[in-house]
Amino acid sequence: MCRHIAYLGPEVAIGEIVVQPEHALFRQSWAPRRQRYGTVNADGFGVGWYAPADPVPARYRRAGPIWADPSFADLARVVRTTALLAAVRDATEAGADGEAAAAPFAGGPWLFSHNGALRDWPRSAAPLVAGLPALDLLTLEARNDSAFVWSLVLHRLRSGDDPGRALADTTAALAEAAPGSRLNLLLVDGGSAFATTWGDTLWYLADRPRGAMAVASEPYDDDARWTEVPDRTLLSATRAEVLLTPLKEPCT
């Protein structure tokens, strides 16, 4: 499993979201409060953020734990942004892909993270492979389930699906191909955030006076405004509003 967070709002230093809060993602890497599967997220981490007037996000990813990277501490202190996605990783199984296996994954203006696991990977992916162009399969960033899930979402986005539908339809296809999978997906484009709950926790914090929105696996502090998202739900959020839509169970 993993923990992830997206932020949209006034310009902040990355550390104000990812490091400084009492129960920030940084602390969740070794002491998550609501993680249902796994206890330590030390198999890599990453943060992606957007710079002014540039729609393509930058990323910083590493294969080790976030607390062991002094360079990240400097980056988080000085780099400022109005939108980010960050994640800490608890690998489903051992692999040799290093930082390439760590979220966020990227494509065009998008950043993506998968909190969960595709059951019976990679055999369960076989029914879905035929729907992907060969080039997408040959250029997967990593040989893990999350990179494959991202390829499915990105293919739908490039085919013209709106972001919410891309996440919802990908989740439904994966749940049908691999029942029992955990499919909490998170997608941002710099101005909006989209997420699914399918087997693990998700919360959001709408700070409307500031025009800020946080969407996270679990709250980074004890602010009473944090709201839990029900399981089997699609979340669509901007700085100003949140829309929750129930996800359909796959046909059996």
Distance of CA 194 to the CA centre of its chain: 9
Does residue 252 lie in a domain region? Answer: no
Does residue 33 lie in a domain region? Answer: yes
Does residue 150 lie in a domain region? Answer: yes
CATH code for the domain in which residue 90 is found: 3.60.20.10
The pLDDT value recorded for residue 90 is 87
Domain total in the chain: 1
Reported as a single tens digit per residue, the pLDDT across 112-134 is 999 999 999 999 999 999 889 99
Distance CA(58)–CA(49), nearest Å, equals 6
2 is catalytic: yes
The pLDDT value recorded for residue 94 is 60
Does residue 60 lie in a domain region? Answer: yes
**Is 0.85 surpassed by the pTM of this model?**
yes
DSSP state of 207: E
Domain extent, residue 60, equals 2-246
Does residue 251 lie in a domain region? Answer: no
Distance of CA 89 to the CA centre of its chain: 10
Does residue 39 lie in a domain region? Answer: yes
Does residue 62 lie in a domain region? Answer: yes
Does residue 9 lie in a domain region? Answer: yes
Q: What angle do CA 127, 96, 50 make, to 5 degrees?
A: 80
Pairing verdict, β 227-228 and 233-237: unpaired
Please tell me which residue in 1, 2, 152, 186 is annotated as part of the active site: 2
Percent of the chain with pLDDT over 70: 97
pLDDT per residue, tens digit, the chain (252 aa), is 689 999 999 999 999 999 999 999 999 999 999 888 888 898 999 999 999 999 999 999 999 999 999 999 999 999 999 999 999 998 876 665 789 999 999 999 999 999 999 999 999 999 999 889 998 888 888 989 999 999 999 999 999 999 999 999 999 999 999 999 999 999 999 999 999 999 999 999 999 999 999 999 999 999 999 999 999 999 999 999 999 999 988 765
